[in-house]
Chain A
Amino acid sequence: MTTLGTLALWVAFLIGIWGALVGFIGSARGRIDLQRSSRNAVFTMCGALLTAAFSLEWALFHHDFNVEYVAAYTSRNLPIFYTWSALYAGQKGSLLFWATVLATFGSLAQVLTARRHAVYLPWVAAVVCTVTTFFVTVMLFAANPFSRLPYTPLDGSGLNPQLQNPGMVFHPPMLYLGYISMTIPFAFAIAALASKKLDSDWLVAIRKWTLVSWLFLSIGLVLGMWWAYVELGWGGYWAWDPVENAALLPWLTMTAFLHSVMIQEKRGMLKKWNLALVIGSWLLSIMGTFITRSGVISSVHSFTESPVGYYFAFFLIASAIASFTLYTRRLPLLTAEAKLESMVSREATFLFNNLLLVGIAFSVLWGTLFPILSEAVQGTKVTVGPPFFNQVNIPLGLGLLALTGIGPLIAWRRASVPNLRRQFAVPVTAGVFTGLALLVSGMRDFYALMAISIGGFVLATVAQEFARGTRARHRQYHESYVVALGRLLGRNRRRYGGYIVHTGIVVLFVAFAGMAFKTETEATLKPGQSASIRSPFGWTYTFTHLGISQYDQLNRQVTAATIEIRRDGKRLGLLTTEKRQHVDALGRPTFQPSTEVGIHSDLREDLYVVLGGVVNGTEQAVFRFTINPLVWWVWYGGMIVALGGLIVMWPGGGSPAVKRAQAGYAVRLVAEG
């Protein structure tokens, strides 16, 4: 099967080069035959790469340990669930996964794009072929997943225990899907620039694709946080690790784009900015891959240092030069159709929102690359860590959160003073009262106070918008309030789905603020002894070490400590935390022992217990007890964001004429509101 896989890669490689060449030439010269050939090349590549991916899965499932990749990432006793996910557990496999998904997305774009946007498709095919071919090239010349060993080991090395977690089965593919699907809006942007068809049409064509990648990336980020939280055992979900930052960067610029695109649609402004954001987001996604693969920046996630990094560096620089050259040459065609009329307008708040998002992205990028930059400039590596990112991004993030509430309340073009008073009275009151209530209840952390008060303000704006829209429908169409609310959401998915996303973001910020009150203690306990910790909500938790048990389970030997937890003396239940020693099929230990965290969650706080180790031969054990407030709200917030995103993207919603009429209705509501 690996012969088939390698063969499929070569087919994809040759077809890809052909597709890219005829795609660019055919599009530039208007040769329909070449364009069609390029389109077919995308489909062929997709088929070839699916075959290659299938061959690798075949080798994985059949334990063909003569294949280096199979031997490196799986073993006979690896649960089948993780054997499947070994496809993207390692560098080579994830390159194959990437290329395969890209070719699939490329084919979908060819098939699903509406006929009126068809003029862009030949260029899109050419770009998709180019990018996919790059990935295939890296595989064939630097990281072939099908390369064989000179001998056949009896068993493979197995998968790293930290990847043997359900989160790992879903988190990487989601992130990858987000990264990869960004190539499609990028391809459309290049298509629009190359074909000089720069009216607002291309925007419509790529908006949905951008939403798709934004949604996948959002889900991937939250799942990654969840995995880090339950698996890594350091007690948090975000560490500003370079790899996390690499995924956050394109998310920030795409979020900026999804907002500024509305200004271009409504007012014909910001064309240059929007194109730059699309190209920039894509370059950031490639840079993210470069960072994770090259080992230039040390990160807990980085793969082995390998020549793959150089390929990515070259590709990154080459595509940056090529796209921005094209961009600069088209600048004269990208003039704005309107001017900013007032500082107090929707446009202005969106512009500030964009500046903040890009500012945050820039500071995250700078902090991530700072070790390299400082070494290049001063000769000494200087690193910045979480304190830097928090210090810079908390104030900026709070500003952004406030704009989340302010933006939707301000009319397009120019807002009048009575209009402002009417819009802001209730939400501002809600925000102030939230802050006062927290102060009275004893909260003194400035940033947490600000975050939750601003959160209250934003939630009130969202509630006000929903209430007004529902009431307007109720009056105008005599619908019951429930029906009116349903139709309001169903017929203005973009707007009200967006508000739901905002609600999710508020929930996330409140949850992040909760982490300011994290408390922890470490203790060495004999069975029967206990440790106490006071929670930020004023309770006292008592953890009693009941004893150690040891047993074998699946592919591991488990040492588990059982802890009884009490809140103010009342028993809440038991919790176990484990050390796992993974073994191979012959029972020999593989990998370092890994820690399994014990977590007891409720809506207010998580009790997070880590077994640090057992004193040799006794049941005396070292524990770290942490109380993490509001963690569940991170997962809930993530779900709300995803739900809102889905509502925004959901297809349908009537004919273009109906949509236009409704857009007008929405605008009128704002103007009246």
Chain B
Amino acid sequence: MNAGAKFAIGALLIVGSVGYLMASGIKQTGQYFLTPSELSRKVAVDPSFYDVGMKVGAHVVRGTVSKDVATQTLSFTISDGTASYPVTFHGLPPDTFNDSVEVVVEGRLKQDGVIHATNVLAKCGSRYEAVPKA
């Protein structure tokens, strides 16, 4: 077998393992990214969407944030205008979190209808601009 063919086998091995790692990686770690209304539609037709790790992107409903510093519990409601879900989160929220930001909540929707978040990312309209004075 000449060097070119041997090299082709080596190259195929590399390309194959990149492909395999990517495919298995997406299968094992991919998460749905949904809006609350998409989530409510999915849950309505397929109850297996309960208790599945996912991300939900929406805005925080003003006035729903309650923070208990001592127990590090944060609860708030997120909405996209049509559907809304209550969220609870244990831990330190990001600096940019307040009751008027867009958030990406990472966690599971439990049977109690509450999203139990493992991570909350706050996304300002623009992170680098001042929050407009309300």
- Residues of A participating in the B interface, judged by any CB pair closer than 8 Å: 72-73, 89-90, 157-158, 160, 162-163, 233-234, 298, 300-305, 339-343, 345, 348, 351-352, 355-356, 359-360, 362-363, 366-367, 370-371, 374, 380-385, 387-389, 391-392, 395-396, 399, 522, 524, 590-595, 610, 612-616, 620, 622, 624
A385 to B126, CA, bound (A): 22
Cross-interface CB contact of A158 among B15, B17, B30, B130, cutoff 8 Å: B130
B34–A592 contact, CB under 8 A?
no
A520 to B45, CA, bound (A): 40
Across the interface, name the chain B residue whose C-beta is closest to A591.
B130
Across the interface, name the chain B residue whose C-beta is closest to A380.
B32
- Chain B CB count within 10 A is highest, among A158, A234, A300, A341, for A300
Q: Which residues of A contact B97 (CB under 8 A)?
A: 592
Cross-interface CB contact of B30 among A302, A304, A384, A620, cutoff 8 Å: A384
Using A348-B10, A359-B15, A524-B72 as known contacts, say yes or no to A593 and B31 having CB atoms under 8 A apart.
no
- Whole-angstrom distance from the CB of A409 to the nearest CB of chain B? 17
Q: Which residues of B contact A622 (CB under 8 A)?
A: 69-70, 72, 92
Q: Which residues of B contact A73 (CB under 8 A)?
A: 128-129
- Cβ contacts A to B, 30 pairs, < 8 Å: A89-B128, A157-B130, A158-B130, A298-B104, A304-B126, A341-B3, A366-B22, A370-B26, A380-B38, A381-B32, A381-B33, A383-B33, A383-B55, A384-B30, A384-B31, A391-B21, A391-B24, A391-B25, A391-B28, A392-B18, A392-B21, A395-B17, A399-B14, A522-B92, A524-B72, A591-B130, A595-B95, A613-B67, A615-B70, A622-B70
18 new A-B contacts at CB < 8 Å, known A304-B129, A620-B69: A73-B128, A234-B94, A298-B104, A302-B126, A302-B127, A303-B127, A352-B10, A363-B21, A363-B22, A367-B25, A371-B33, A382-B32, A385-B29, A391-B29, A395-B21, A396-B18, A613-B67, A613-B69
A72–B130 contact, CB under 8 A?
yes
Q: Which residues of B contact A383 (CB under 8 A)?
A: 30-33, 55
User: How many pairs, one residue from A and one from B, have CB atoms within 8 Å of each other in the complex?
Assistant: 160
- Whole-angstrom distance from the CB of A154 to the nearest CB of chain B? 13
Q: Which residues of B contact A594 (CB under 8 A)?
A: 95
B130–A363 contact, CB under 8 A?
no
Q: Which residues of A contact B128 (CB under 8 A)?
A: 73, 89-90, 160, 163, 303
B104–A384 contact, CB under 8 A?
no
A343–B7 contact, CB under 8 A?
yes
Q: Which residues of B contact A384 (CB under 8 A)?
A: 25-26, 29-31
Q: Which residues of B contact A355 (CB under 8 A)?
A: 11, 14-15
- Whole-angstrom distance from the CB of B16 to the nearest CB of chain A? 10
Across the interface, name the chain A residue whose C-beta is closest to B67.
A613
Q: Which residues of A contact B31 (CB under 8 A)?
A: 382-385
A381 to B34, CA, bound (A): 7
Q: Which residues of A contact B130 (CB under 8 A)?
A: 72, 157-158, 160, 590-591
A351–B29 contact, CB under 8 A?
no
Cross-interface CB contact of B18 among A345, A359, A370, A522, cutoff 8 Å: A359
Across the interface, name the chain B residue whose C-beta is closest to A387.
B29
- How many residues of B sit at the interface, in one of the four size bands? 35 or more
A613–B29 contact, CB under 8 A?
no
Asked if B91 CB lies within 8 Å of chain A CBs, one says yes
Q: Which residues of A contact B7 (CB under 8 A)?
A: 340, 343, 348, 351
- Whole-angstrom distance from the CB of B110 to the nearest CB of chain A? 21
Q: Which residues of B contact A616 (CB under 8 A)?
A: 69
A441 to B130, CA, bound (A): 51
Q: Which residues of A contact B72 (CB under 8 A)?
A: 522, 524, 612, 622
Q: Which residues of B contact A341 (CB under 8 A)?
A: 3
B127–A343 contact, CB under 8 A?
no
A391 to B91, CA, bound (A): 26
User: Per-residue CB proximity of B115-134 to A under 8 Å, as 1/0?
Assistant: 00000010101111111000
- Whole-angstrom distance from the CB of A254 to the nearest CB of chain B? 19
A374 to B27, CA, bound (A): 12
Q: Which residues of A contact B70 (CB under 8 A)?
A: 524, 615, 620, 622
A343–B6 contact, CB under 8 A?
yes
Q: Which residues of A contact B125 (CB under 8 A)?
A: 304-305
Q: Which residues of A contact B32 (CB under 8 A)?
A: 380-383
Q: Which residues of A contact B121 (CB under 8 A)?
A: 300
B131–A591 contact, CB under 8 A?
yes
Q: Which of B66-85 contact A (CB under 8 A)?
A: 67, 69-72
Asked if B4 CB lies within 8 Å of chain A CBs, one says yes
A370 to B55, CA, bound (A): 14
A360 to B31, CA, bound (A): 21
Using A163-B128, A391-B25 as known contacts, say yes or no to A363 and B18 having CB atoms under 8 A apart.
yes
A392–B22 contact, CB under 8 A?
yes
Q: Which residues of A contact B36 (CB under 8 A)?
A: none
A343–B10 contact, CB under 8 A?
yes
Asked if B64 CB lies within 8 Å of chain A CBs, one says no
A388–B129 contact, CB under 8 A?
no
Asked if B37 CB lies within 8 Å of chain A CBs, one says no
- Whole-angstrom distance from the CB of A153 to the nearest CB of chain B? 11
A367 to B23, CA, bound (A): 11
B129–A157 contact, CB under 8 A?
yes
- Whole-angstrom distance from the CB of A369 to the nearest CB of chain B? 12
A610–B92 contact, CB under 8 A?
yes
A592 to B97, CA, bound (A): 8
A592–B25 contact, CB under 8 A?
no
Asked if B57 CB lies within 8 Å of chain A CBs, one says yes
A176 to B68, CA, bound (A): 42
- Whole-angstrom distance from the CB of B125 to the nearest CB of chain A? 6
A195 to B98, CA, bound (A): 58
Cross-interface CB contact of A388 among B26, B57, B71, B96, cutoff 8 Å: B26
B129–A160 contact, CB under 8 A?
yes
Q: Which of B26-53 contact A (CB under 8 A)?
A: 26, 28-34, 38
A615–B127 contact, CB under 8 A?
no
Across the interface, name the chain B residue whose C-beta is closest to A160.
B128
B129–A90 contact, CB under 8 A?
yes
Question: 3 tightest A-B contacts by CB?
Answer: A157-B130, A359-B18, A304-B126
Across the interface, name the chain A residue whose C-beta is closest to B30.
A382
A388 to B31, CA, bound (A): 10
Across the interface, name the chain A residue whose C-beta is closest to B11.
A355
Q: Which residues of B contact A389 (CB under 8 A)?
A: 25
Using A343-B7, A363-B22 as known contacts, say yes or no to A593 and B15 having CB atoms under 8 A apart.
no
A620 to B69, CA, bound (A): 9
A593–B14 contact, CB under 8 A?
no
A595 to B92, CA, bound (A): 11
- Whole-angstrom distance from the CB of B72 to the nearest CB of chain A? 6
Across the interface, name the chain B residue whose C-beta is closest to A524.
B70
Cross-interface CB contact of A362 among B18, B98, B104, cutoff 8 Å: B18
A519 to B91, CA, bound (A): 16
B6–A298 contact, CB under 8 A?
no
Using A160-B129, A351-B7, A592-B98 as known contacts, say yes or no to A356 and B14 having CB atoms under 8 A apart.
yes
A340 to B8, CA, bound (A): 11
Q: Which residues of B contact A524 (CB under 8 A)?
A: 69-72
Q: Which residues of B contact A342 (CB under 8 A)?
A: 3
Across the interface, name the chain B residue whose C-beta is closest to A590.
B130
Across the interface, name the chain A residue whose C-beta is closest to B130.
A157
Q: Which residues of A contact B10 (CB under 8 A)?
A: 343, 348, 352
A415 to B91, CA, bound (A): 57
A384 to B24, CA, bound (A): 12
